[in-house]
Amino acid sequence: MIWQRVMTLIQERGWKYFVYKVVMKFCRQIDSFDFTTARKPLPEFVYMGVTPTNNPEIETLRLRDSDDYALELPFKGNLHVKKSAIAAIIHIYYPELSSEILRYLRHIPLTTDLYISTDTDAKKSEILQQFSHYGNGSIVVKVVANRGRDIAPMLVGFKDVFDTYDYFIHLHSKKSPHSDGGLLDWRQYLFENLLGSEAIVRSHLYLLEHHVGVVFPQHFAPLRININWGYDFTMLKQLLKRMGVALNSEQLLEFPSGSMFWGRTDAIKPLLDLELSYSDFPRESGQIDGTLAHAIERSFLYVCEIAHYKWAKVARREYYPLKKTLLPTSVEQIDTLLPRVYRPLFNRYVDGGGRLDSTLPEYSRYNTYPSSCSKPRLNLMVPTINAKEIFGGIATALRVYNALQTALGHACDYRIIVDIGKISEETKANFPRYHFATNVIDDTVAMQVVETVEHKQLHIRKDDLFLATAWWTASSALYLLEDQERFFNVSHKLLYLIQDYESHFNAWSASWIFAENTYKASERIIAILNSEELALFMSRRYDFYDTYYLPYTINAGIQKQLQSVTRKRQILFYGRPTVARNTFDIIVDALALWQKRNPITSQSWQIVSLGEQYPDTYVSHVEHLHIMGKAPLHEYATLLSESMIGISLMVSPHPSYPPLEMAYAGMKTITNSYEGKDLSQRSDTIVSLDILSVEAIAETLERLCDEIETNGFSTTEHGVSALDIDMKPFCAQQLSDSLWS
């Protein structure tokens, strides 16, 4: 019994999960050891610990210094940018810095209108005098309340300005008086990296023209240790909640420290839409943290992603000491280098800590990255493609995928995402046109297989379509669609090959809930239902966006190899002890009962078990039984041709293939009904039991054997009928014509 449970666990969840369960059982005996709650950042990341003054409330997830890359300024190559007016939104609290700011602004090669805020009329007069010779655009100077530092004047005082411009730069007269002189060079560092030369400005604008929403200088080196949540997490969480986004403390923190940056106006629109007012900001009292302005400073990149844009960090080599993390950049390399700089903030960069990570390892969410490749792509999501691990469900998935690939042709690329099994070398030979990878850097490959067992990372294109083939792949795919919508502001449907009512595989459990949730996302799903019976069952329960069904057809390889031979007194049954819905225990006990009731006639009958290997102790009480396991196709066809009786049960609305294949080959076949499923409607050779029990199967088997002994074996071969249902049969060409419409 223990061996059966071990084999079941390994076959359903894999060796890694089995080893994990053994280790966990051992660890539970040791009170001082419990790693179910351990949080482990991915290798490039680290937690900045809590300190009394620097990071007083919660830990902060950050990139390690050695993995925190920036694009090196200025970029090489043709930095041509379109002619477009720019808004420079500048808060000048210290008017004595006006001439310095003006000197840097002269490096902008395009018309730039200045919108300057300050807090007194006297400062306004001084600023106007300093900028009197500015000739590259208009100037507006506004006196505002001394609230919210440089943030409130931009988002409240000049909110209407953003309606007029595509691009802007945000600056302020930074002195950092609270630093006791430790950050005196910070302002120069920011100005040099934002406006240090015309080539630097053009580099920023080039990024903004290529779907980057915010560009900001890499963190000032002396400040790196202070990049944390501070006292601002709760306020930031509330701010993002108003934008419809939930923040948690395990998300990566990244922001333009110093709050100076280049941006697209669309990239901060969710923040502008909050309609903040000056009264939302506290009066100025020298605060160094814990205000709405500090929370907004930490929000800019989250807002940028909410608005469907990427962000980028840049730096000049002469001003940044961590030289190895600066990526020399040409315009031709930006698409290749940007993934090393931009880390989507809503990804999950921490492993462990949740029960589902251990109890349902297949239920996982990918870390995703927006691809710059514009070619449409069809993605098949399957547990494995190894030949020895492929049963009917995966074989059907590959058949549907290949049919769509034939219909789509060279109009799109193709990717197979393997989420559980390790891909064998033998398998690679079966997919000669595909490039195999575990961690994809180049997303322009036309045909690839990505193994994601250890690296849950995927690039997503704007026109990626996903074909899910099991509930957990559908669950992952729905998350991928969310990420795709956040990256590109598109809303594609999910192709969902529903091969059975998977909720009931998992008996009122978390798996049951998650499987059910995938069906309930019906408005996003184009369902491809794997049989007429299943299509009728699912359509009564769920209102999918669109629905197709796969009419049953005999496997072409089986059909070709069926033979007209003399039948043997042989019973073929589908025996898979690891799959509960195939009711292995009921079948073998029914066979044993039939033999006990017919001790003489049963001696002339052989029994063959197909499906999977298992210990012979499972069937030690059944005589004349041979365990064949998963048979090659030609051997399976031979067994179908020469056997007289078949038994294949499926406690679900899907008929499964074996009973229909047995009936097609002319065998007398015993199966079961299920909520409207009655396979006897398809063939006179099928007996569909309404009440499934050991006794019912034994009695039916006895009756069929008696009929054969009395009347001889006779049957109508190749007699499985189609069911006429009011639904669209799957047609790859018809479906492919509408996929991206």
| Whole-number pLDDT of residue 389 | 81
Length of the chain: 741
User: Taking 70 as the threshold, does the pLDDT of residue 275 lie above it?
Assistant: yes
Stated as kind and residue range, the H or E segment containing 666 is: none
Under the banding of pLDDT at 50, 70 and 90, the label for residue 21 is: very low
Average pLDDT on 227-240 reads: 94
* Residue of 160, 163, 190 lying closest to 174 (CA atoms): 190
Stated as kind and residue range, the H or E segment containing 517 is: helix 510-520
Say which residue, 516 or 14, is predicted with more confidence: 516
* Residue of 65, 104, 78, 74 lying closest to 317 (CA atoms): 74
DSSP assignment string, 601-624: GGGG-EEEEEE----GGGGTTSSS
Please state the CATH superfamily assignment of the domain spanning residues 557-711 in this structure. Answer: Glycogen Phosphorylase B; (3.40.50.2000)
Angle in degrees, 0-180, between the axes of helices 186-195 and 98-105, rounded to the nearest 10: 20
Backbone angles phi, psi at 427, to 5 degrees: -65, -40
Under the banding of pLDDT at 50, 70 and 90, the label for residue 392 is: confident
* Residue of 239, 290, 234 lying closest to 268 (CA atoms): 239
* Residue of 593, 694, 703, 617 lying closest to 649 (CA atoms): 694
* Residue of 622, 549, 546 lying closest to 589 (CA atoms): 622
Q: Which residue has the tokens 């009973």?
A: 659
Distance CA 119, CA 130 (A): 16
| Whole-number pLDDT of residue 62 | 96
Percent of the chain with pLDDT over 70: 92
Stated as kind and residue range, the H or E segment containing 96 is: none
Distance CA 679, CA 663 (A): 10
| Whole-number pLDDT of residue 64 | 96
Which amino acid would we find at residue 740? W
Average pLDDT on 126-142 reads: 96
Under the banding of pLDDT at 50, 70 and 90, the label for residue 285 is: confident
| Whole-number pLDDT of residue 56 | 80
Distance CA 344, CA 264 (A): 18
Percent of the chain with pLDDT over 90: 76
Under the banding of pLDDT at 50, 70 and 90, the label for residue 437 is: confident
Question: Lowest mean pLDDT: which of 223-227, 387-391, 394-398, 438-442?
Answer: 438-442
pLDDT digits (tens, 9 = 90+) for 584-608: 999 999 999 999 999 999 999 999 9
Beta-carbon neighbour count of residue 24 at 10 Å?
A: 13
For residues 485 and 491, the answer to whether their CB atoms sit within 8 Å is: yes
Distance CA 669, CA 663 (A): 6
Say which residue, 149 or 596, is predicted with more confidence: 596
Indicate the average pLDDT of the chain.
Answer: 90
For residues 277 and 156, the answer to whether their CB atoms sit within 8 Å is: yes
| Whole-number pLDDT of residue 595 | 98
Q: What is the pTM of this model?
A: 0.86
| Whole-number pLDDT of residue 420 | 83
Backbone torsion region of residue 108, taken as left when φ is above 0, otherwise alpha when ψ lies between -120 and 50, otherwise beta:
beta
pLDDT digits (tens, 9 = 90+) for 531-561: 999 999 999 999 999 999 999 989 889 999 9
Domains 362-549 and 557-711 share a fold: yes
- For Cα atoms 259, 261, 266, give the angle at the middle one, nearest 5 degrees: 110
Under the banding of pLDDT at 50, 70 and 90, the label for residue 132 is: very high
Cα–Cα separations (whole angstroms), residue 654 to 271, 295, 301, 392: 50, 53, 47, 12
Average pLDDT on 436-445 reads: 80
| Whole-number pLDDT of residue 388 | 80
For residues 530 and 552, the answer to whether their CB atoms sit within 8 Å is: no
Distance CA 687, CA 178 (A): 85
362-549: CATH topology is Rossmann fold (3.40.50)
First to last CA, the chain: 54
Burial of 317 (0-12, 13-18, 19+ CB in 10 A): exposed
Beta-carbon neighbour count of residue 534 at 10 Å?
A: 22
| Whole-number pLDDT of residue 694 | 98
67-341: CATH topology is Spore Coat Polysaccharide Biosynthesis Protein SpsA; Chain A (3.90.550)
pLDDT digits (tens, 9 = 90+) for 703-727: 999 999 999 998 766 678 889 899 9
User: Taking 90 as the threshold, does the pLDDT of residue 28 lie above it?
Assistant: no
| Whole-number pLDDT of residue 440 | 67
Burial of 456 (0-12, 13-18, 19+ CB in 10 A): middle
Q: What is the dihedral of CA 217, 222, 224, 227, to 10 degrees?
A: -90
pLDDT digits (tens, 9 = 90+) for 452-511: 887 788 999 999 999 999 999 999 999 999 999 999 999 999 999 999 999 988 888 999
pLDDT digits (tens, 9 = 90+) for 634-681: 999 999 999 999 999 999 999 989 999 999 999 999 999 999 899 999
Average pLDDT on 56-65 reads: 92
Under the banding of pLDDT at 50, 70 and 90, the label for residue 442 is: confident
User: Taking 60 as the threshold, does the pLDDT of residue 15 lie above it?
Assistant: no
Beta pairing, strands 261-264 & 212-217: antiparallel
Helix-strand-coil split of the chain, %, nearest 5: 40, 20, 40
Tokens of 613: 């290997």
Report the largest interatomic distance among the alpha carbons of the chain, rounded to a whole angstrom: 115
Under the banding of pLDDT at 50, 70 and 90, the label for residue 387 is: confident
Average pLDDT on 612-619 reads: 96
Stated as kind and residue range, the H or E segment containing 597 is: helix 584-597
Average pLDDT on 67-96 reads: 95
Under the banding of pLDDT at 50, 70 and 90, the label for residue 236 is: very high
| Whole-number pLDDT of residue 353 | 66
Distance CA 481, CA 489 (A): 10
**Most confident option among 13-27, 270-284, 377-391, 594-608:** 594-608
User: Taking 60 as the threshold, does the pLDDT of residue 22 lie above it?
Assistant: no
Domain ranges for the chain, please list them.
2-59, 67-341, 362-549, 557-711
| Whole-number pLDDT of residue 27 | 37
| Whole-number pLDDT of residue 4 | 55
